[in-house]
Chain A
Amino acid sequence: MTAIFIDFATEATVFCPDLDFLHHSRREANSSADGEITSRMMAKIGPDDPIADVDRHRSALMAAAQGGDSAAYQALLRGCIPLVKSIARRQGVTSDRVDDVVQDVLLTVHQARQTYDPDRSFTAWFSVIAERRAIDLIRRTRRQDQREVYAPFAFENHADEEADPSRGVALMDRRSAVVRAVETLPGRQREAVQHLLFEERSLADAAVVTRRSKGSLKVNLHRALKALRGKMESRDKP
């Protein structure tokens, strides 16, 4: 059976299949009612109380989500976003961080969904999670602010140590020295360096192209590198 109800977060129409308890359209309470729900959790709520209805409805959605009903789950999470935002603001989260809290709470609820007992109030359970995640984010932000310094021009004013104009010339000089050193190597070693390093062929490809065994190529490459290291070190010595 497919039920339709109004998503109170966005006032959008959402379709929820296989939910017997959602036969008719229902406008949920807005987020200001959520605070009232939380404050009244400890009080006895009558069976006809609209706020208790909201909570029972959420509990039913969560129970369906625990059973794997993704439409109920989406409707529940969408509907809880205003509640998270209201709790985050109440805890003192700055407006630019409220969305971070929402994301964090959604992930945490997803992770903790097996801990929810449908006999208990969903809104109370959810509100505690939202409060804790909001407080965690405030603490994290505070720690981050203590470690980091706000310096908008620091990046632009920071000298790039690698931006030395002569560095490119030195690099080219070194590269041509390597090429010259490779040219002085015996033929097989030069061949191994050419195919395996300069042309970046795999050992198998290089073996096919040069018609030599992989072992021979490896030995020649090893000898070539050793010889090149010696040549470059003697070149760099003053």
Chain B
Amino acid sequence: MKTLSNNDSPHERLIQHLATELTPVRRLRSPSIRALGWLAMVAATAILLGLFADLPAIGRRLAAAPDMWLAVAGSVATAVLAGFAAFQLSMPDASRAWAVLPLPAAILWIAASGLGCLRAWFVPGTHVADLSEARDCLLFIVGLSLPFSALLVVMLRSACPLQPGLTALIAGLAAAAAAATLLNLFHPFDAAATDLVVHAIAVASVILAVRAFSSRRLSPEFLRGDVTGTMDRSN
């Protein structure tokens, strides 16, 4: 059919090109539902790892020092809220304010872990992790964060984040917090200063690595690739 628009303009050519390659799309589910999908995968991993964990030892440890719950609750809340925030941020019209959502939980997590660290210093007879245990913690957090963050980034790519750096940063926080939470299954003691530093290094490394690796991969320019490659924008 004929249109009286200026067919020679680059915008008109681009519109016609986009319309030509238009295919029906299925509307993306809401960010909250997609976040629940990711959290379900994390929960399934937790159940699987729980089969190999010494659950009675964890129960004894929690009975002796109930404040350990605070650190666990903090890391769980950080993982959940950062997961929700990452999916919200992946939407093109999302507000940057979503990035603040996991911060209170992250503060609780850091503060409660620090409290456990102080007790390990002052209370005699407290088990203090040695260097090999600290190294195991590092490997556990980094190793488990890899599949969690990879799954998260793949799921986030189905939206179109226009704030890829911030989205990747919060996704890294979610993956690291989830991995640190599951570490509690095999870490039924307070983190001493060295151990806590190792945890912090592991979590920070995961966050920065996910940010560095994924922010470009989540950007619209990277995701579109196939579209721009065929368009002549110079005319």
Contacts and interface: CB of A to CB of B under 8 A. Distances in A.
B15 interface: yes
A227 interface: no
A74 B4 CA distance: 13
B35 to A, nearest CB: 15
A103 B10 CA distance: 8
Nearest to A100: B233
B51 interface: no
A103 B14 contact: yes
A236 B191 CA distance: 70
Contact of A68 (B5, B22, B231): B22
B10 A73 contact: no
B67 interface: no
Interface string B122-165: 00000000000000000000000000000000000011101100
A137 to B, nearest CB: 12
How extensive is the interface on chain A, given as a class?
35 or more
A196 interface: no
Main secondary structure of the interface of A (DSSP, over half): helix
Interface in A121-140: 124-125, 128-129, 132-133, 136
Contacts of A100: 233
B27 A117 contact: yes
Given A107-B224, A124-B93, A66 B25 contact: yes
B228 A74 contact: no
A115 B227 CA distance: 18
Contacts of A68: 22-24
B9 to A, nearest CB: 9
A106 to B, nearest CB: 6
A110 interface: yes
A88 B227 CA distance: 22
B19 A128 contact: no
Contacts of B27: 66, 114-117
Interface in A1-23: 7, 9-10, 12-15
Contact of A128 (B23, B25, B93): B93
Contacts of B228: 107
B92 A108 contact: yes
A71 B16 CA distance: 9
B159 A12 contact: no
B19 A108 contact: no
Interface of B: 1-6, 10-12, 14-16, 18-20, 22-28, 30, 91-93, 158-160, 162-163, 220, 223-224, 227-228, 231, 233
